[in-house]
Amino acid sequence: MIPTPDPAYRVGDSVLPGDDVSAAVRTGDVSKIVLGPGLRRLGSQVVVSRAGVLKMPKNNVFVVDAYQKRYIPVKDEHVVGVVTNASSDVFRVDIGASVTASLSYLDFEHATKKNRPNIQVGDVVYAKLSTAGRDMEPELVCVDTHGKAGKLGKLEDGFLLTCSLNLIRKLLSVNCPLLQALGQKWPYECAFGMNGKVWIKARSVKETIAIGNAIYESELMDNAQIKKMCTNLGLVIDSM
Amino acid sequence: MAAQYKTIHPVKYYRDFLAHDLRPDGRSPDKTRNVTVNVNSISTADGSSTVRIGNTTVICGIKAELGKPKPDEPECGFMVPNVELPPLCSPLFRPGPPSEEAQAMTCFVSQATSDMVDLKELCVSTDNLAWVLHIDMICLDYDGCVQDACLIALSAALRTVKLPKVEYDAETKLPSVSLDERADLHVKSSPVSTSFAVFDDEIILSDPTGEEENLSSAKLSVVTDGEVILSVHKPGGSALSETQLQDCISVAKDRANLVNELINVALSSVDR
Amino acid sequence: MADMSGQASGEDHKLRPFYCELNVLSRPDGSAIVTQGETAAIAGVYGPIEVKPNKIHIEKATVEGIYRPKSGLPCVSDRLCETTLQNTFEAAVLTSQYPRTLISISVQEMQDSGGLLACAINAGCLALMNSGLSMKFLVAAVHCMINKTGEVILDPDNKQLKDSCASLMFAFDNVDKNIVSSSTHGRFTEAQYQEALLRCRTASTEIFQLYRDMVKKYAPTMG
C-alpha cells in the first residue's frame, strides 16, 4: 500500500471526487453545516463527489463548484423550455433534463377548462419548477401562488440559445455587468433559464446575433473584459 | 418464511448468511462447486465434452474442416471458438443475434485459449490447406461462472480431437483424407479459469452462482496454467486490494490443479 | 482551451507524455481528449438522459460504455474492451444519484500505438469529470508489459510491444489506490504480476496529480 498523502483541503482549493474534506468543513465551532452539490456524507466523513473548487457561499454552507452542461431539475428554479407535445391536457416541455417536464394547461394565468392557453409544439415557455426530484417527473407552472403570471408564460418570437449552467449563474449574479452593458447599447428582452437556455428578443437579427455572441464570449471573461467587449461590440455593430 | 425474506431482501438475506461465513447453498465463501466432466458426448463431432459446475452446464463440440489459410499467415490453421447463450439457459437472454455478454465471453475464451494449440500444426500444406477447428460452446443452464465452464469444456474437448491424416496433392490441388489414420491433437497447455464475485465491496465469493453474480458489486476471473497466470480479468466493479487479488490467484491455482486432474480422469475413462 | 502535460521524472517509472484537453466537443455534456505518447482517444459523456425501458434500473442509473474503433464497426474482439470500460465507469459514477436515467460514455479511438484501453479509460474518466456528474472516485489506468527477459516496462509503445511476452493494464481508484480493473494478455508468473501491479500503481499517482492540475487549470473558467 502506498500511504496516501492526506493534505488538509481548505475552502478555495480544487478537489477531486473521493477527497476527504471533513477537516475543511469542520473549521470553527459549528454545530450545523450544510453540504451543497458536489459533497456527500460517507459515515463520519465528508467526501467530494465532483471535480471542482470547494467553496463556501454562505456561512457553514459548502459546495463544489464545477463545470456543468446537463441540467438536473431543482424545485423553484426558473427554466426556459421548448414545448414538444401540446395535444393532451398536459404539455410536454423539453428543459434539457433527462426527461421532459410536464406543464398542465391550467397552470397559466386566466386559464380555465374553457379557456385553454394557445400553446403549440415548438413554442418557448418561461416557467418555474413546482416539483423536482430524482424520483419524480419534473412539473412546471407558469403562474405564481397567487395565480398571476408575472414574467412567466409563453415567450413570443425571439431566439433560443443553449450554454453551460455556469454561464447562466455567472450572468445572473448581481455583479455581472453584461446584461446592463448590452442594455445601454440596444433595447432587448431576454429570459435566462437555470437549465442553460437563454431566450433573446432584440429589434433586428443583427442585434440578436450580437447579443448571443456576447453571451457566449463572456464565459471566459472577467468583468472588466466584459465591459470592454460590450463597448467594442457597440461600435462594430453601429458602424455596420 | 425464508423464501419470502429472500425475495423481498435478497441482499440482506445473503448478508445474514455471510455473517456466519456461509452461503445459502452451504458452501463457505472460498469453496468452489463440484465439477463434472464428460467427454465424447457428441458422437458426430470430432471432439466434444459436457461440463457441469454446480447447475451451470456447457456443452462443447469441435468440428474440424479443411480450409485455405489466410494470405498473411500461410502456415497457420484456425481455431474459431464461439460461446452461445441461447434463451434456453436463462431468462436474461432473448433469441436473436449473440448478446453482448456472449460476445464478451467468446472474446475472453479465445484470448485464454489462444496458445493451447500451435496453429502451425494445423497446417496441411502452406498457403493451400489447413485445418479449421470450429469450437462451439453452448450453455444449457446459466447459473454463474459460465466462462469457467466454457474453458473447461473447450480444454477437455480439444483433447478428444483426433484429426485424420491428410495429404495434399500440389498438382491436382486436391486433398486426400485417410479416415482410418487419425492422430491426437497436440495440446500444449491446460488453462483453467476460476471466477469470483465481490459481495458488499469486500467479501469474495469463489465460484459464484448466477444469483450471487447478480447481487455482486464486481466480478473477476483468473486463468492459470500450472504456476503461470494467463489472465487476471477484472472488468471494473468495486475496487479490490492487492492481498484480495493474491488470495483469488491462490484459490484459482489450487482449483486449476483439481480441474486438470478431473479432465485427465475423464479422458482416461473413455475407450481410446 | 488550456492544455496540460506531464511527464514522469526518473528512469524507473516513466510514462509517455500525457496530454489532455477538456470540453473539446460542443454537444456532449462532458468531453475530453487524451494522448499518451502516440496513442490517442477522445471521449464524450451524455447524461443523465432518458433510458430505454428494457435497460432501466429503478434504483440507479444505467451506465453505458461505447467503444468505437478507428475504422469500421466494433467487432467481437472489441466487446471485452467495451465491457471493461462500462463496468469501470459504472463503479466510478455515483449511480444511485440518478435513478432511472442513462449515462452514456462513448470513447472513440483516434490512434493506437500501445495501451489504448488505458488511454480510453483515462479519457472517459476526464470526460466524466468534465460533465460534472457525481462520482465516488476517479480512475486512472496504466498499461505495462513484460518483455522476454522478464522485465516490467511501463507504458510501452507499439515498437516495444513487439518484444513483449505479456501486456497488462490496471485501473486504480484515487481513494485507496485499489484495483478497479485488470486486463491482461499473455503468460506471466504471479511475482511478475505483483511487480507490474506495484509499478503501475506508483505511476497512477502521477496521472491523479495530472487530473488535479487539470481541475486547477480549468477552475478560473468556471466564473
Decide if A167 and C137 are in contact by the 8 Å CB cutoff.
no
Domains A13-65 and A77-155 agree in fold: yes
Reported confidence tier of residue A39, pLDDT bands at 50, 70, 90? very high
Chains B–C, number of C-beta pairs less than 8 Å apart? 100
The answer to whether the CB atoms of C221 and A49 lie below 8 A apart is: no
Contact (CB, 8 A) for A90 and A118:
no
Q: Does any CB of chain C come closer than 8 Å to the CB of residue B80?
A: no
Strands B129-141 and B78-84: parallel
Q: Supply the pLDDT for residue C167.
A: 93
- pLDDT of C32 reads 96
List CB contacts (< 8 A) between C184 and chain B: 229-233
CB atoms within 10 A of CB A162: 14
**Torsion over CA: C108, C111, C112, C115 (sign):** negative
In eight-state DSSP terms, residue B119 is G
Residues in chain B within 8 Å Cβ distance of C87: 218, 235-237
pLDDT for residue A51 is more than 70: yes
Contact A97, A73 (CB under 8 A): yes
Sign of CA dihedral B19, B20, B22, B25: negative
Which are the contacts of B2, defined by CB distance < 8 A and separation ≥ 6? B13
Q: Which residue of A has its CA nearest to C57?
A: A135
pLDDT at C99: 93
Distance CA C47, CA A40 (A): 20
Least confident of A27-31, A40-44, B89-93, C134-138: A27-31
Task: Return the percentage of chain A with pLDDT > 70, whole number.
Answer: 96
Residue of chain C whose alpha carbon sits nearest to that of B92: C54
The closest of B137, B116, B125 to B185, measured between CA atoms, is: B116
Q: Where are the domains of chain B?
A: 27-271
Report yes or no: C4 and C19 within 8 Å, Cβ to Cβ: yes
- Which three three-digit cell numbers place residue A118? 394557445
DSSP state of C221: G
pLDDT at C62: 95
CA distance B167 to B173: 10
Q: C12 CA to chain B: closest CA distance, Å?
A: 21
The DSSP result for C93-153, as a single string, is B-GGGSTT-EEEEEEEEEE-SS-HHHHHHHHHHHHHHHHT--BS--EEEEEEEEETTS-EE
Residues 60-119, chain C, touching A (beta carbon < 8 A) = 92, 94, 97-102
Q: Do B234 and C183 touch (CB under 8 A)?
A: yes
**Which B residues in the span 83-112 are in contact with C, Cβ-Cβ below 8 Å?**
100, 103-104, 106-108, 111
Query: Binning pLDDT at 50, 70 and 90, where does residue B150 land?
Result: very high
Q: Which fold has domain A13-65?
A: OB fold (Dihydrolipoamide Acetyltransferase, E2P) (2.40.50)
* Mean pLDDT of all residues in B232-243: 92
Which residues of chain A have a Cβ shorter than 8 Å from any chain C Cβ?
1-2, 4, 14-18, 38, 40, 49-53, 65-70, 72, 97-99, 134-135, 166-167, 169-170, 219-220
Nearest CA in chain A to C216: A14
Distance CA A103, CA B233 (A): 49
Best CA proximity match to C108, nearest among C81, C131, C88, C133: C81
Residue A86 near residue A121 (C-beta atoms within 8 A):
yes
Residue C66: the pLDDT is 94
> Bridge-partner residues for B129, per DSSP?
B125
The minimal CB distance from B100 to the residues C77, C79, C193 is found for C79
Q: Which of residues 120-179 of C touch A (CB under 8 A)?
A: 129-138, 173-177
User: Three-state DSSP class for A65?
Assistant: strand
Residue C205 identity: T
Please tell me the predicted confidence (pLDDT) of residue C21: 93
Min distance B175 CA to chain C CA atoms (Å): 32
Q: A10 φ, ψ to 5°?
A: -125, 165
How would residue B271 be classed by pLDDT, with cut points 50, 70 and 90?
low
Residue C221: its pLDDT value, please? 65
Q: Where are the beta strands (DSSP E) in B129-208?
A: 129-141, 162-169, 174-184, 192-199, 203-206
- Checking if the pLDDT of A7 tops 70, the result is no
Domains of chain A, by residue range, sit at 13-65, 77-155, 159-239
B236–C181 C-beta distance less than 8 A: yes
pLDDT of amino acid B272? 53
How far is the C-alpha of C205 from the C-alpha of B243, rounded, in Å? 20
Instruction: Return the C-alpha cell found at C87.
Output: 463496468
Task: Give pLDDT tens digits for C130-165.
Answer: 999 999 999 999 999 999 998 999 999 999 999 999
Just give the CATH number of A77-155.
Answer: 2.40.50.140
Residue C87: strand, helix, or coil: helix
| Strand partners of residue B80 | B134
Residues on chain A touching C49 (C-beta within 8 angstroms): 70, 98
Return d(Cα C96, Cα B214) in angstroms, integer: 17
Superfamily of chain region B27-271: GHMP Kinase, N-terminal domain (3.30.230.70)
Strand order in the sheet with B218-225: B203-206, B192-199, B218-225, B228-233, C188-189
- Which residue from B104, B115, B246 is facing C80, i.e. has the nearest CB? B104
* CB–CB contact C101 A220 (8 Å): no
Instruction: For chain C, positions 182-201, list CB contacts with chain A under 8 A.
Output: 201
Q: Do B239 and C173 touch (CB under 8 A)?
A: yes
**A98–C218: do the CB atoms touch at under 8 Å?**
no
pLDDT reading at B146 higher than 50:
yes
Per the document, the length of chain A is 240
Q: Is the pLDDT of residue B270 over 50?
A: yes
pLDDT band at A8 (very low <50, low <70, confident <90, very high): confident
Q: Give me the pLDDT at residue C201, please.
A: 94
Rounded Cα–Cα distance for residues A119 and A103 (Å): 11
Which of B229, B233, B242 comes nearest C183 by C-beta?
Answer: B233
In this predicted structure, what is the pLDDT of residue A1?
A: 41
Which segments in chain C show pLDDT lower than 70? 1-13, 221-223
Q: What percent of chain A has pLDDT over 90?
A: 56
Query: Which of C128, C169, C185 has the alpha carbon at shortest distance from C36?
Result: C169
| Residue C48 φ then ψ, to 5° | -75, 135
CB contact under 8 A, A14 and C219: yes
Torsion, Cα of B149, B155, B156, B161 (10° steps): 140
Number of alpha carbons in the 13 Å side-chain half-sphere of residue C156: 20
Of A17, A40, A52, the CB nearest to C137: A17
Are A98 and C94 within 8 A, CB to CB?
no
Contact (CB<8Å) B236/C172: no
Residue B126's pLDDT band (boundaries 50, 70, 90)? confident
How far does C219 lie from chain A, in Å, by closest CA?
Answer: 7
Which CATH architecture is the domain C18-218 placed in?
2-Layer Sandwich (3.30)
B58-77, pLDDT tens digit by residue?
Answer: 999 999 999 999 999 899 99
Distance from CA of C223 to the nearest CA of A (A): 6
Contacts of B227 (CB under 8 A, 6+ apart): B253, C189, C190
Burial of B128-147, coded b for 16+ CB within 10 Å and e otherwise, reads bbbbbbbbbbbbebbbbbbb
CA A89/CA A116 separation, integer angstroms: 9
**What is the spatial distance between Cα A78 and Cα A125, in angstroms, rounded to a whole number?**
10
- Decide: A196 and A94 in contact? Cβ < 8 Å: no
| Structure confidence at residue B261 as a pLDDT band (50, 70, 90) | very high
- The Cα B177–Cα B170 span in angstroms is 14
Q: Do C190 and B249 touch (CB under 8 A)?
A: yes
d(CA C223, CA C221): 5
Q: For residues C20 and C32, is the Cβ–Cβ distance under 8 A?
A: yes
Distance, CA of B200 to CA of B218 (rounded, Å):
9
Distance CA C78, CA C73 (A): 10
Cβ contact, residue pair C222, A53, below 8 Å: yes
Q: Which of C181, C204, C208 to mutate to test the interface with B (most CBs of B within 10 A)?
A: C181
For A106-160, what is each residue's pLDDT tens digit? Answer: 999 988 889 999 999 999 999 999 999 888 899 999 998 888 888 899 999 999 9
Any idea which fold A159-239 has?
Ribosomal Protein S8; Chain: A, domain 1 (3.30.1370)
Residue with cell 487419425: B182
